[in-house]
């Protein structure tokens, strides 16, 4: 065990070093007059502000004197991918945002899913607002805030872009004014007063705003996670009440699909893990991780449950796409369609596919998160739960095909293709608890659980493959069922035979002792 942990530590350190080297190896190009004219068409000349590296004055632009800069030169706020979004920004000396354009990014949702026109329409909302305004996505009508519309399916990225522009602008204005000649000036009043005193005072963090805005989701999800913990701790008692447990499980799966997945966009992805790695290597910050409360709570629960019970708790209970597949499988079995199980030898070899996909995605991420995001489209999660099938036909067909295949082979995607499941399985071997009960007869000769396991995570020899188990507890229902578990069936029949024999002896004795009529 000690050797395993040492190997894990070495791998994490090497990975972090690679991320750090790759993340710091690029340099930003100098801005040109053509860049300035993207935001200020009337710009006639561009000169660097020597005292503030990365900042330029724009001459000839209409209105107040304008400044031009790239946000990566002045602020580093990791986005969903773990890397910042670099934006070209023009701001006037009095703090008015004159123009914004996305220059580069590695956001998965923006690589495939959100068009450039959608992205530009979003950043265009920042034009005409002040750098010291409390701009928040979705805060329309809230006192003290300036609200803007978000990006559908890219809420975290939208919040990060907004914060990046306002914070970078505040830093630029503070640095620019420090190098100006200190001459007496008339008192300034009105909206501009706050902007000339340096960076705006720290307001409520974006993540705090997000948690307040979604506090009902936080409460409901926290309650659902507590219920799941109770299920895990009381599993031996629950599975002995078959009907109640099965109804509870179906209800929980429906909650996972409808609320966590469809309404809250809480489907975790392998891209989250890549983003976390980049965040860790580039200077860890909680702010970006806390922006989406649903995703944060889910990952926190995964971190806890995977060390205690293994990855199966998330895959079997909290993964929306996995839950959708299982519900379809249950429906097909209810309609009398048993499905098809692959031969054991082929089944175990197909497990390797998801690990190969994970390695390929991680390898691409070392070079470019954009390329890794394209490879991560093997996950249909974005199509189903983020974009709600509003994507090109090929993506929709792929997602629907995976859902259809699960009718013939239960949870096909989870078993053979899911890179997230592959990543989580690495930690499963270090789990603390092993509460799934087995008997000596399991596998020798009993094959009931192995034949009933919908993900085929029980070998013919009776062992549960922990890295593949989804902790659905169906084998535990069978374990306690006197009408399905063969060892218990034999014991029950033996008791019944003994009871019948005893009843016959008692009846015979009673007949012999009764007086003749």
Report how far residue 415's alpha carbon sits from residue 48's, in angstroms, rounded to the nearest whole number: 56
Mean pLDDT value across residues 155-177: 89
Report how far residue 463's alpha carbon sits from residue 337's, in angstroms, rounded to the nearest whole number: 27
419-428 and 270-281 are packed helices; what angle lies between their axes, rounded to 10 degrees?
60
Q: What is the DSSP string of 133-164?
A: S-EEET-TT-TT-EEE---TT-HHHHHHHHHH
Helices and strands in the chain: count of H runs, count of E runs: 25, 7
Residue, of 343 and 19, whose pLDDT is higher: 343
Which residues fall within 8 angstroms of residue 264, CB to CB, at 6 or more apart? Answer: 217, 221, 294
- How would residue 516 be classed by pLDDT, with cut points 50, 70 and 90? low
Q: How many residues does the chain have?
A: 517
Which residues fall within 8 angstroms of residue 335, CB to CB, at 6 or more apart? Answer: none
Give me the sign of the Cα torsion angle 507, 510, 516, 517: negative
Mean pLDDT value across residues 49-66: 83
Return the pLDDT at 504: 65
Report how far residue 48's alpha carbon sits from residue 56's, in angstroms, rounded to the nearest whole number: 4
Residue 23 token pair: 């993340």
Return the pLDDT at 2: 46
Q: 165-174, 187-196, 282-291: which has the highest mean pLDDT?
A: 165-174
CB 408 within 8 A of CB 340: yes
* Percentage of the chain lying above the pLDDT 70 cut: 84
The model's pLDDT over 294-325, given as tens digits with 9 standing for 90+, comes to: 999 999 999 999 999 999 999 999 999 999 99
List the single range of 50-64, 259-273, 382-396, 473-487 with lowest mean pLDDT. Answer: 50-64
Q: How many CB atoms lie within 10 A of CB 123?
A: 23
Which residues fall within 8 angstroms of residue 467, CB to CB, at 6 or more apart? Answer: 310, 311, 425, 428, 429
Q: What kind and span of H or E run contains 103?
A: strand 97-104
Report how far residue 468's alpha carbon sits from residue 465's, in angstroms, rounded to the nearest whole number: 6
The model's pLDDT over 221-238, given as tens digits with 9 standing for 90+, comes to: 999 999 999 999 999 999
Return the pLDDT at 510: 56
The model's pLDDT over 386-440, given as tens digits with 9 standing for 90+, comes to: 889 988 899 999 999 999 999 999 999 999 999 999 999 998 888 899 999 999 8
Taking CA 276 as the corner, what is the angle to CA 231 and CA 169, rounded to the nearest 5 degrees? 125
Q: How many CB atoms lie within 10 A of CB 189?
A: 7
Return the pLDDT at 444: 85
Q: Is the pLDDT of residue 54 over 60?
A: yes
Mean pLDDT value across residues 256-272: 94
Report how far residue 305's alpha carbon sits from residue 303's, in angstroms, rounded to the nearest whole number: 6
Buried b (16+ CB within 10 A) or exposed e, 410-422: bbbbbbbbbbbbb
Residue 215 token pair: 């506090």
- How would residue 191 be classed by pLDDT, with cut points 50, 70 and 90? very low
Note if the bond before 76 is cis, omega within 30 degrees. no
Q: 69: which strand partners?
A: 55, 89
Mean pLDDT value across residues 160-187: 79
Return the pLDDT at 182: 57
Q: Which of 485, 415, 489, 412 is nearest to 449 (CA)?
A: 485
Within 442-485, residue ranges assigned H as helices are: 448-452, 474-479
Return the pLDDT at 262: 95
Torsion of CA 452, 455, 457, 460, to 10 degrees: 50
CB 487 within 8 A of CB 446: yes
Sheet holding 66-70, edge to edge: 45-48, 55-59, 66-70, 86-92, 97-104
Q: How many CB atoms lie within 10 A of CB 180?
A: 9
Longest dimension (CA), the chain: 130
Give me the sign of the Cα torsion angle 336, 342, 348, 352: negative
Q: Is the pLDDT of residue 451 over 80?
A: yes
CB 268 within 8 A of CB 321: no
Half-sphere exposure of 108 (CA within 13 A, CB side): 29
Which residues fall within 8 angstroms of residue 167, CB to CB, at 6 or more apart? Answer: 75, 77
Residue 378 token pair: 């093997």
């Amino acid at each position: 065990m000690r050797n395993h942990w040492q190997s894990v530590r070495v791998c994490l350190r090497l990975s972090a070093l690679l991320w750090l080297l790759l993340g710091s190896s690029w340099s930003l190009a100098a801005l040109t007059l053509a860049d300035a004219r993207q935001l200020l068409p009337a710009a006639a000349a561009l000169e660097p502000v020597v005292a503030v590296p990365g900042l330029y004055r724009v001459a000839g632009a209409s209105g107040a004197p304008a400044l031009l800069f790239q946000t990566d030169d002045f602020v580093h706020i990791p986005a969903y991918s773990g890397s910042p979004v670099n934006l070209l920004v023009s701001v006037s000396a009095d703090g008015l945002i004159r123009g914004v354009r996305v220059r580069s990014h590695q956001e998965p949702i923006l690589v495939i899913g959100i068009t450039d026109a959608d992205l530009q329409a979003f950043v265009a909302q920042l034009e005409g607002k002040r750098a010291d305004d409390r701009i928040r996505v979705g805060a329309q009508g809230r006192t003290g805030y300036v609200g803007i519309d978000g990006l559908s399916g890219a809420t975290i990225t939208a919040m990060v872009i907004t914060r990046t522009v306002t914070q970078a602008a505040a830093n630029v204005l503070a640095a620019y004014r420090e190098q100006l000649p200190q001459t007496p000036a008339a008192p300034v009043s009105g909206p501009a007063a706050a902007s000339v005193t340096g960076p705006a005072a720290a307001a409520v963090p974006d993540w705090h705003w997000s948690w307040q805005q979604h506090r009902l989701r936080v409460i409901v999800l926290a309650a659902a996670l507590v219920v799941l913990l109770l299920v895990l701790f009381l599993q031996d008692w629950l599975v002995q009440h078959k009907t109640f447990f099965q109804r509870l499980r179906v209800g929980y799966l429906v909650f996972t699909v409808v609320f966590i997945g469809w309404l809250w966009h809480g489907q975790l992805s392998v891209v989250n893990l890549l983003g976390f790695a980049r965040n860790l290597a580039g200077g860890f910050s909680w702010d970006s991780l806390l922006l989406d409360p649903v995703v944060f709570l889910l990952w926190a629960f995964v971190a806890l449950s995977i060390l205690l019970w293994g990855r199966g708790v998330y895959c079997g209970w909290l993964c929306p796409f996995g839950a959708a597949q299982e519900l379809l499988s249950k429906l097909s079995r209810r309609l009398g369609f048993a499905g098809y199980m692959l031969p054991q030898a082929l089944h175990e070899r197909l497990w390797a596919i998801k690990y190969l996909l994970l390695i390929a995605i991680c390898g691409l991420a070392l070079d470019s998160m954009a390329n890794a995001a394209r490879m991560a489209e093997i996950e249909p999660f974005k199509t189903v739960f983020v974009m709600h099938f509003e994507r090109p036909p090929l993506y929709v067909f792929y997602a629907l095909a995976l859902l259809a295949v699960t009718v013939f082979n239960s949870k096909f995607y989870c078993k053979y293709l899911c890179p997230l499941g592959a990543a989580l399985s690495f930690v499963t071997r270090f789990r603390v608890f092993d509460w799934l009960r087995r008997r000596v007869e399991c596998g020798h000769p009993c094959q009931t659980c192995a034949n009933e396991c919908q993900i085929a995570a029980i070998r013919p020899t009776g062992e549960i493959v922990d890295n593949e188990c989804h902790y659905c507890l169906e084998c535990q229902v069978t374990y306690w069922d006197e009408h399905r578990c063969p060892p218990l069936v034999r014991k029950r029949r033996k008791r019944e035979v003994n009871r019948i024999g005893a009843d016959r002896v008692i009846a015979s004795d009673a007949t012999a002792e009764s007086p003749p009529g």
